[in-house]
Amino acid sequence: MATTFGALGAGGIEEARAEALAAGRTARIAGFLYLLAGIGAPFAYIIAPAKLMVRGDAAATLARVVAAPSYLRLGVAAELISSVLLICAAAALHRLLEGVNRAQARLMLIFASLAAPIIFADAVDQLAALDVAGAKGGAGAAQLALLFMTLHRHGIVLAQVFWGLWLLPLGLLFIGSRFLPRAIGVLLVAGGSAYVAASMTALLAPAFAPIVSQVAAVGGGIAEASAIIWLIGWGTKEVRATALSSKS
């Protein structure tokens, strides 16, 4: 992107450079935080639950929790860390994009933050399952362990609503800005809608939930990965160049 400085004096050029550098750093920080938030998510929400829970089989679930408590503890830690990092990423994106549309940027940050209380409360269910497993209370303990793990699964379904909703204003901000790829914005809106659809399907038509969840995971994953790559990589240079050219 070509940058001109004909209309800028020396002071204006320096101010433009400072703003461009700040925008570039914010974009890169947001991208790295978003990436870190996503790294632990597959283990926390897919791998660990699959390792520990056997749907409809309380005894098998209890046996797995007893045999691999480290999976449960690591899963809880990954959930909590990922939730905090996602809020930090959303805060950085809010700072980067509030000039595009302040209302949409605020809505994005609110939706991203609302998933965290659900996940933190949900972590209590997993820790309770671990306590029950340690108590060795026989069939009653097995039923309680399965109950707590089932509650945890339901909590993820509810949190996924907000994981989808925060992508909608983020996508609109991409689309409405002058320095973000609109194609990625469209992908984010589609991916966020897919996450919400997956949660609604799990609640209203659970028989179709597996296939809808798989489609949502692929679509949402592509959208979020595209945004992360852009923010961390060449998108940073684009932000800087556009910020400079806007001052010309």
Pick the range with the lowest mean pLDDT from 146-150, 207-211, 220-224: 146-150
Examine the pLDDT at 158 and tell me if it is beyond 70.
yes
Q: Span 64-73, mean pLDDT?
A: 82
Examine the pLDDT at 70 and tell me if it is beyond 80.
yes
- The 10s digit of each residue's pLDDT in 102-112 is 999 999 999 99
CA pair distance 225, 163, nearest whole angstrom: 14
- The 10s digit of each residue's pLDDT in 118-140 is 999 988 988 888 888 776 656 67
The whole-number pLDDT of residue 83 equals 94
* Total number of domains in the chain: 1
**Domain-located, residue 1:** no
Q: Which residue range is the domain that position 81 belongs to?
A: 11-245
**Domain-located, residue 4:** no
**Domain-located, residue 230:** yes
**Domain-located, residue 127:** yes
**Domain-located, residue 3:** no
**Domain-located, residue 228:** yes
Pick the range with the lowest mean pLDDT from 104-118, 143-157, 168-182, 195-209: 143-157
Tokens of 137: 């209370």
Examine the pLDDT at 230 and tell me if it is beyond 80.
yes
- The 10s digit of each residue's pLDDT in 39-50 is 988 888 888 887
Q: Span 169-180, mean pLDDT?
A: 92
The whole-number pLDDT of residue 105 equals 96
**Domain-located, residue 171:** yes
- CB distance 24 to 225 below 8 Å: no
Q: At how many degrees (to 10) do helices 139-165 and 58-67 cross? A: 80
Pick the range with the lowest mean pLDDT from 78-87, 128-137, 233-242: 233-242
User: The whole model's pTM is what?
Assistant: 0.83
CA pair distance 48, 46, nearest whole angstrom: 6
Q: Which of 71, 154, 88, 73 is nearest to 119 (CA)?
A: 154
**Domain-located, residue 82:** yes
Three-state DSSP at 224 gives helix
Provide the mean pLDDT of the chain.
Answer: 85
- For the chain, the 3-state helix, strand and coil shares in percent, each to the nearest 5, are 85, 0, 15
The whole-number pLDDT of residue 11 equals 56
